[in-house]
Amino acid sequence: MEVQRQSAERKALASYKTPWFGALVALFVVLIPSLMLAQYLIEEREKEIFQETQYLANAFVTKLEGRLEANVAVGRGFKVHIEALGDLNQEELDALSARLIDGDLNIRHVALAPDLVVRSVHPLRGNEAVIGFNYMTHPVQRVTALRALQTKTITLAGPVPLVQNNKEQLIARFPVYRERGEPWGLIGLVIKYDELLKDAGLNNLKRSHLVAIRGKGGTGSNGATFLGDEALFKEQVQLHKIDVPGGTWQLSIKPRGGWSLPVMKKMLLLIAAILISVSFAYLVYVLRQNFLQRKAYLKHLKSLSAIDPLTQLPSRYQFNISLNQLVSEAQRNGVGFTVLLVNLDHFKEVNVSLSQAVGDRLLIDVSDRLRSSVRDYDLLSRLGSDEFVAVFRGIYNTSEIEERARDISTSLSAPFSIMDQEVSITCSLGVAVYPQDGSDGETLIKHADRAMHESKKSGRNTMYFFNSSMRNEADKYMELTSAMRTGLAEGHFQVYYQPILDVALQRFTRCEALCRWISPDRGFISPGEFIPVAEQSGLILELGSWLSKQVFACYHTLNSNGYDINFSLNRSPLEFNSIPHTEQFIQSRIQSGIPAEKITLEITESLLMSDNNIKSRNFNALKQEQLNFSIDDFGTGYSAINYLRKYPVESLKIDKSFISEMGVSGQADTLVKVIIQMAKTLEISVVAEGVETREQYEALKKMDCDYIQGFYFAKPMPKEDFLQFIAEHEKELEI
């Protein structure tokens, strides 16, 4: 028996040493963490699908609300005109419509119904059947018409079939009252339903997602479905509220492929996991690296969104668009408005003493109170960490402004209950009024900000109007503008050139042309001081023309000496507002004989995000000339990466703020690496600027960055010094 037992033990021990047993043990050891990793990746990808859907839906809702508000604003213009000046005949209606209705809007026609009977319509042609239509005799229209008059609010009906062609459209109804408060009747603004949704990006959204909208007539989740399949609301979907005049719609959205990955993809992931042959520690490293990259990428996308991710208020970018639209509207209608800047006092102390989580919750609650302090058609946005702005339409006298400011101060001064803590905070307010404090949005915001800082200086928790003493600072701006005109006329400006290294060739094949101002009276004046003044004054056009001519001449000097250098020029977004300026640049380049491919125009992300038709036209005109484009300060704007597909550019310049943090912040290293990898995928070259150390250079070189620029190689220098620099470098290469 003992012999048999020992024999069995030897056989068992021998089986442990066979190759299949070792392979089985290795497979078992790797299989469990590999399967866990595969499951994690599946869950993370499904989370990304959810987040991407949320971003796309928010962008669509924002665009739709903005487009709808832009159309409804025209109806308010008609309402203000009639209440102030009385009825309009057909000829007067046509004339006023020509002034108010922009070609970019989705308005089909506008109808005036004094005493609830349509008497005039613009355009008349094709809408003759509407004349004489009586709201009181139509069972459906009667209810909505009376509701608009009784509630004294704008209502949005529809989509409903039109009388003249039975085609469904949206109808915004504006109740109008006479001077004594007696009802005059209704203004009906018919909005092209399909066109509105198309302009808001519905077609692009539907390519990747199933979409349905309900709430016909502004009835929200209780209303009928008027777009897509009603059954979609019963599935696992995201629901988003769409604010419309007099109510809400509800958007239901889900990916066409569902929230989960396809079974085949899951199987492939599981098979791949089983075949993983590296150690678990290495897998954890890869997992951590991929996770941080995805997190940084999603965070970057979030920062570029049109909606502030924390408060869900419009971002600065979206607010600027709305404010510029309001300025255009006010210029047409002659109606003033007020810009009120709200800055929270001692907000940083809240973050430090109570935690950032409390600070974030406070910002959310503040935004909610601000929403309740403004009207539906006013503008509200979060501009910065603790700074908000409200724009009150039609309010421009001091007493009304002070009343609104008191409402906001009182609302925000009440204690907040946050995470079982009572938090109190005050605010400093700055006011600028259109048109006396500025005729454009940028000036109004600047002046309101100046007034707000006076509130801070005066002890906080108060309000200041922009006034004459503050205007003195504006006078300094005028002095600098005048000095710039003199400097341009008398040759006080110079062009400095900073070399850019081609990493692969190890040659300086590019340079950036930088404008420098050396005043006989003031000495060296920083570009950070005079470029904003040039942009505000319009001198940026003259400065840009001068700079391009100097660069063209420098190219020929270098070329005649045998040096083939590409030149980069910064081009202000304002230069894209002028068609003649763009045409002049094109002609100047052609006459100079410099090849188009030797010129790169550096532009900002904000230009590509603009909906301005003139800017787009000028961009395309320059692109047709085969000029190169580079996005300057990439990663510091508010936009989404999506514009890179719409506007083809040849290169990106990583902002020096990211480069300076390399080697200090792991997040900065990751973000730079992500930008380079993304650009490579899109076949776009990358320039890193602001490189000052060898460590930064070596890290960027390892990341496969294409071009490098910075003090590590050379500071910007005059033309003669630049020519000598290139000559010496080329001589070293020959040796």
Write out pLDDT tens, residues 403-431. Answer: 999 999 999 999 999 988 899 999 999 99
Token couple for 191: 């909005």
Burial of 590 (C-beta count, 10 Å sphere; 0-12/13-18/19+): exposed
Which of 595, 699, 575, 707 has its CA nearest to residue 651? 707
CATH topology of domain 1-278: Beta-Lactamase (3.30.450)
Residue that wins the pLDDT comparison between 108 and 7: 108
The alpha carbon dihedral of 499, 500, 505, 506 has a sign of positive
Burial pattern 336-355, b for ≥16 Cβ within 10 A else e, equals: bbbbbbbbbbebeebbeebe
User: What phi, psi does 378 have (nearest 5°)?
Assistant: -80, 170
Tens-digit pLDDT profile for residues 225-281: 989 999 988 988 889 999 998 889 999 999 988 877 655 565 665 666 655 544 444
Determine the Cα–Cα distance for residues 187 and 114; give it in Å rounded to an integer.
8
Residue that wins the pLDDT comparison between 429 and 521: 429
Alpha-helical regions (H) of 379-440: 398-413
Domain ranges of the chain: 1-278, 316-466, 477-734
Determine the Cα–Cα distance for residues 217 and 245; give it in Å rounded to an integer.
10
Res 3: pLDDT: 45
User: What phi, psi does 297 have (nearest 5°)?
Assistant: -65, -45
**Percentage, residues of the chain above pLDDT 70:** 86
Which of 193, 202, 189 has its CA nearest to residue 226? 193
Residues constituting the chain: 735
Determine the Cα–Cα distance for residues 206 and 204; give it in Å rounded to an integer.
6
- Cite the beta strand spans of 192-326 per DSSP E: 209-214, 225-227, 238-244, 247-255
Res 49: pLDDT: 85
Where residue 117 falls (left for φ over 0; alpha for ψ -120 to 50; beta otherwise) is: beta
Mean pLDDT throughout 685-709? 95
Res 15: pLDDT: 44
Cβ proximity of 124 and 203 under 8 Å: no
pLDDT over 50 (residue 134): yes
Tens-digit pLDDT profile for residues 30-71: 556 666 666 676 677 778 888 888 899 999 999 998 989 888
Determine the Cα–Cα distance for residues 430 and 452; give it in Å rounded to an integer.
4
Name residue 427's beta-bridge partners.
344
Cβ proximity of 469 and 453 under 8 Å: no
Determine the Cα–Cα distance for residues 514 and 262; give it in Å rounded to an integer.
53
Res 355: pLDDT: 85
Residue 13 pLDDT grade (very low, low, confident, very high; cuts 50, 70, 90): very low
Tens-digit pLDDT profile for residues 606-637: 777 665 678 888 888 998 999 999 988 887 65
Stated pTM of the model: 0.43
Determine the Cα–Cα distance for residues 141 and 131; give it in Å rounded to an integer.
15
Determine the Cα–Cα distance for residues 93 and 96; give it in Å rounded to an integer.
5
Pairing of strands 387-393, 120-122: unpaired
Burial of 503 (C-beta count, 10 Å sphere; 0-12/13-18/19+): middle
pLDDT over 70 (residue 300): no
Q: What is the mean pLDDT of the chain?
A: 85
The alpha carbon dihedral of 452, 454, 458, 463 has a sign of negative
- Identify whether 159 is preceded by a cis peptide bond (ω within 30 of 0): yes
Cβ proximity of 569 and 548 under 8 Å: yes
Which of 612, 526, 534, 529 has its CA nearest to residue 571? 534
Mean pLDDT throughout 489-494? 93
pLDDT over 60 (residue 337): yes
| Residue appearing with tokens 């100097």 | 550
Mean pLDDT throughout 638-650? 67
Instruction: Kindly report the CATH number that applies to the domain delimited by 316-466.
Output: 3.30.70.270
Which of 268, 428, 430 has its CA nearest to residue 346? 428
Cβ proximity of 425 and 344 under 8 Å: yes
**Percentage, residues of the chain above pLDDT 90:** 42
Res 20: pLDDT: 45
| Residue appearing with tokens 């007696």 | 182
Cβ proximity of 219 and 181 under 8 Å: no
Task: Select 477-734's CATH number: 3.20.20.450, 3.40.50.1950, 3.40.50.720, 3.40.50.1980.
Answer: 3.20.20.450
Residue that wins the pLDDT comparison between 613 and 474: 613
pLDDT over 50 (residue 379): yes
| Residue appearing with tokens 């603790």 | 386
Determine the Cα–Cα distance for residues 476 and 540; give it in Å rounded to an integer.
18
| 3-class secondary-structure state, position 202 | helix
Burial of 596 (C-beta count, 10 Å sphere; 0-12/13-18/19+): middle
| 3-class secondary-structure state, position 661 | coil
Res 251: pLDDT: 93
Give, rounded to a whole angstrom, the gap between the first and last alpha carbons of the chain: 88
Mean pLDDT throughout 303-319? 82
Cβ proximity of 248 and 242 under 8 Å: yes
pLDDT over 80 (residue 73): yes
